[in-house]
């Protein structure tokens, strides 16, 4: 996807500011869920890096098949079974993502909801590139889903990972946490191969471990309005920076921009927010909460800061005004090159 490719260059260019400080650096780019994933490791062990990358590539291929919300695979089979009132047994990975989704749904007051796949599909986001000019779904179709209140808590999972739903309107879509999960998987594999200093960047959403030859990794936070970064950060040890936005996947219809984050309470795409960013050690949590913050909007995003005891989060509204927690504001100031 072009949008992602552009952002990769942006982040790469920003990180390049400190590249001169360096020592050996291994780097490789892969693709998962239509997103370019850039892996960088500050290591001189090229063979460990290469082994790790082969394993990551294989895992990404499996994930792409198992977790895709609309291409044939395990998740689509599970969603079909749910719609037909049947029980379906899934991988440990899907079972875990369901559990985490249910937990995030509860803690975000339903703003993060991985069970609203039917709404995401109805709004035209179950395609690689959203079709521009596509008419929104009818009020009646939206109301049918809303009345059924699809929720990850409608699912029960037994000890053999067999999933049964009490609600046929549930359709899982892990788009809100897929990148966080992919980044975690990549970091786990790098560590297994004893690579302790690395950065995994999925289209500007990233996690770092360790340092870049004795210095922090320097990264840019995506600007929702175009090129360049909206903030810069020095990150090190084990931190994830995730931004969800209404700027990459959208459909323009009759002068209105409908973007891919849906408010589960209205069944409609969120308006009024350009992006939300969360910094946290857990990439999946950062990804989920960033999505939920877009839904919460300018008036309620602080509810999520409180619910997750976040120190570092940021929201950019549609007028470009930046709202940040104080620790993140201070940190961005200190990190400016």
Residues that bind Mg ion (CB under 5 A): 176, 244, 287, 290-291
Identify what 114 binds: Mg ion, ligand ADP, none; CB under 5 to 8 Å per kind. Answer: ligand ADP
Q: Looking at 144-152, 169-177, 185-193, 298-306, which segment touches ligand ADP (CB under 6 A)?
A: 169-177
Cα-Cα-Cα-Cα torsion 247, 184, 289, 117, nearest 10 degrees, comes to: 70
Nearest approach, Cβ of residue 310 and ligand ADP (Å): 16
16-24, 278-286, 287-295, 313-321 -> range binding ligand ADP (CB under 6 A): 287-295
**Residue closer to Mg ion, measured from CB, 53 or 286:** 286
Draw the binding track, 254-273, toward ligand ADP (x: CB under 6 A; -: no contact): ------xxx-x---------
Which residue's beta carbon is nearest to the bound ligand ADP? 175
β-partners of residue 245 are 275
- Within positions 75 to 134, which residues make up the interface with ligand ADP, using CB under 6 A? 112-114, 120, 125
HEC string for 135-204: CCCCHHHHHHHHHHCCCHHHEEECCCCEEEECCCCCECCHHHCHHHHHHHHHHHHHHHCCCCCEEEEECC
- How many positions of this chain bind ligand ADP (CB under 6 A)? 21
Interface region with ligand ADP, contact rule CB under 6 A, candidates 38-46, 70-78, 170-178, 210-218:
170-178
CB-based contact 88:77 (threshold 8 Å): yes
How far apart (Å, rounded) are the C-alpha atoms in residues 304 and 263? 15
Longest alpha-carbon distance in the chain: 60
CB-wise, 42 or 94, nearer to ligand ADP? Answer: 94
CA angle 304, 305, 309 (to 5 degrees): 115
Own/partner contacts of 301-305, CB < 8 Å, gap of 24 or more, are 301/276, 303/109, 304/108, 304/111
Binding site for ligand ADP (CB under 6 A): 112-114, 120, 125, 173, 175-176, 179, 205, 244-245, 248-249, 260-262, 264, 287, 291, 295
């Amino acid at each position: 996807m072009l949008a992602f490719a552009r952002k990769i260059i942006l982040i790469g260019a920003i990180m390049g500011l400190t590249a001169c400080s360096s020592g050996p650096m291994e780097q490789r780019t892969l693709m998962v869920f239509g997103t370019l994933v850039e892996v960088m490791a500050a290591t001189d062990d090229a063979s460990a890096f290469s082994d790790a990358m082969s394993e990551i590539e294989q895992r990404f291929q499996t994930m792409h098949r198992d977790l895709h919300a609309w291409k044939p695979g395990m998740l689509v089979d599970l969603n079909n079974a749910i719609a037909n009132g049947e029980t379906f047994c899934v991988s440990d990975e899907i079972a875990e993502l369901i559990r985490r989704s249910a937990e995030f749904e509860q803690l975000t007051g339903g703003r993060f909801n991985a069970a609203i796949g039917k709404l995401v599909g109805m709004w035209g986001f179950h395609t690689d590139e959203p079709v521009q000019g596509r008419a929104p779904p009818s009020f009646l179709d939206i109301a049918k889903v809303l009345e059924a209140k699809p929720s990850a808590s409608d699912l029960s999972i037994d000890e053999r990972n067999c999933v049964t739903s009490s609600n046929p309107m549930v359709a899982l879509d892990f788009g809100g946490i897929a990148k966080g999960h992919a980044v975690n998987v990549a970091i786990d594999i790098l560590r297994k191969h004893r690579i302790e200093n690395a950065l995994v960047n999925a289209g500007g959403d990233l996690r770092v471990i360790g340092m870049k030859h004795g210095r922090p990794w320097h990264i840019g936070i995506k600007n929702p309005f175009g090129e360049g970064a909206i903030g810069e950060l020095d990150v090190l040890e084990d931190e994830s920076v995730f931004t969800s936005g209404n700027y990459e996947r959208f459909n323009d219809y009759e002068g209105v921009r409908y973007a891919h984050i849906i408010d589960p309470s209205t069944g409609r795409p969120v308006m009024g927010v350009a992006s939300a960013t969360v910094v946290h050690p857990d990439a999946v949590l950062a990804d989920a909460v960033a999505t939920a913050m877009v839904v919460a909007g300018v008036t309620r995003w602080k509810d999520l800061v409180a619910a997750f005891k976040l120190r570092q989060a940021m929201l950019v509204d549609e007028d470009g005004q930046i709202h940040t927690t104080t620790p993140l504001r201070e940190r961005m100031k200190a990190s400016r090159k």
